[in-house]
Amino acid sequence: MGDGDTQVVGIGVDSTDVRPGEAFIAVPGFTTHGARFADAAIASGAILIITDKAGREHLTSQPAALIEVTDPRAIVGTAAALVFGYPARDLELCAVTGTNGKTSTATILHQILRNARGEAGIFGTVEVRIGEDAAYSPRTTLEASLVNRLMSLARERDVTTLVLEASSQALHLGRLNDLQFDIAGFVNLQHDHLDYHHTMAEYFEAKAMLFEPNMCRSAVICIDDEWGAKLAARVAVPHLTVSTGADADLIARDVGPTAAGMRFTVLASDGEHPIEMPLTSRVMVQNAMVAIGMARRAGVSWETITDAMRVANPAPGRMEVVQARNETHPLVIVDYAHTPDALEALMPELRALTPGNLIIVFGSDGDRDQAKRPLLGKIAADQADLLYVTDESPRTEDPAAIRAQILAGVREVRPDLAGVIEDTESRTHALTAAILAAHPADTVVVTGKGAEQYQVVGTENRPYNDVPVARAAIEQRQQA
């Protein structure tokens, strides 16, 4: 992008990511306008500011060039694609969406495609990876400017296949506009994000945007819930349906545990295909079915899929075993399960693995969907023996008020709060106490944060991750 002497070499919507010679697109945010950060972008070397009328009024420094548009967010993808040389045209792009299981499905698919293509990239909740280079991901779906920058880097490094996680908010905000995915996958739609989308119908429509012909060329849809069936009935692109029970193009049958994970048989039009994977739980089977379906749409052979699934690794924070059960220690698991549906699916799986007490450490995020908090409490009280109610990321809400909403659901099952501990000190304290108090026959699961690397308290990101906290508690048991 340039006009004679001025050549724009990159684009960003975050002032901290802007480099010399790049453009800064100042978009209106939920709480403040991005134009308030234009000075920082100019100081970092931005030579062009693109914003709307409201943003222009916030500018206090005069940039080298200024363009006013009606909707700056709507043009981010188009402008970034132009500046970075339309990298998407040279890549095989896959996107996975759904409430629960996006990260696990994308991770499984990424591993299959690496096995098939020799190399692949993934942009998701846990990490951004191009080949062997990886970094922690700041959000589930990156801004369009960063997606295009990273796709350009992938092209330079001859990584031709990318898997992205697509969140409903990102689709609604247009972060993936001007991208057309070769294959889009749908896992499920469950109770979450209603603070943003208000109703399940609105939530569904945001997800369904990914499956319009302008955004994908083909699709793989799990029809295990009503929303998947609804999507499959209306999608206009070529697609496969998958299921762990219903009639579909690919069906998982004879699902059962092995000593190291799960096994099942995929029934397809070309025969029956046995799958074994070192991933536990029936939920992982659903995730695997979507990944397998997407791999088949990408032309990957059954032999390659079978080989990849035998050694598939779980995504960090998704049914992650921190400590295996032995004569001294309980089974300790970290899982992201942050929605009622995810928790309801998880707990019976853990109960089947637990000869003693099932112990859960959990909370719920602040400034997010409040309606799910009592539901989480009710499910935990019904399914677990001992409950430690603690904090996740309270953000600007009062942590005690969040816990009170969870405990209201707990009281529907246990009016006397028997076996329930409200930890007002910290998540670290709650998780440590649960592990130290557990017997070897027990299972301790900590849910809600998964692989997240921080807690948000007020507006401050405080470093925190469940896995090292759990490991430290296990070390304390060993030393006791």
Q: Which residues are annotated as a binding site?
A: 15, 98-104, 140-141, 167, 175
Structure tokens at 42: 């100019």
User: Percent helix, strand and coil across the chain, each rounded to 5?
Assistant: 40, 25, 40
Query: What does DSSP assign to residue 90?
Result: G
Place of tokens 């990886």: 134
Residues belonging to the binding site for ATP are 98-104
Q: How far is 200 from 226, CA to CA, in rounded Å?
A: 12
Supply the Cα-derived Rg of the chain in whole angstroms. Answer: 23
Q: How far is 8 from 263, CA to CA, in rounded Å?
A: 52
Which residues share a beta bridge with 266?
Answer: 252, 273
- Give Cβ neighbours of residue 104 (< 8 Å, ≥ 6 apart): 279, 284, 287, 314, 315, 318
CB of 372 closer than 8 Å to CB of 190: no
CB of 89 closer than 8 Å to CB of 179: no
What 3-state DSSP class applies to 285? helix
302-310 vs 102-117: helix crossing angle, rounded to 10: 120
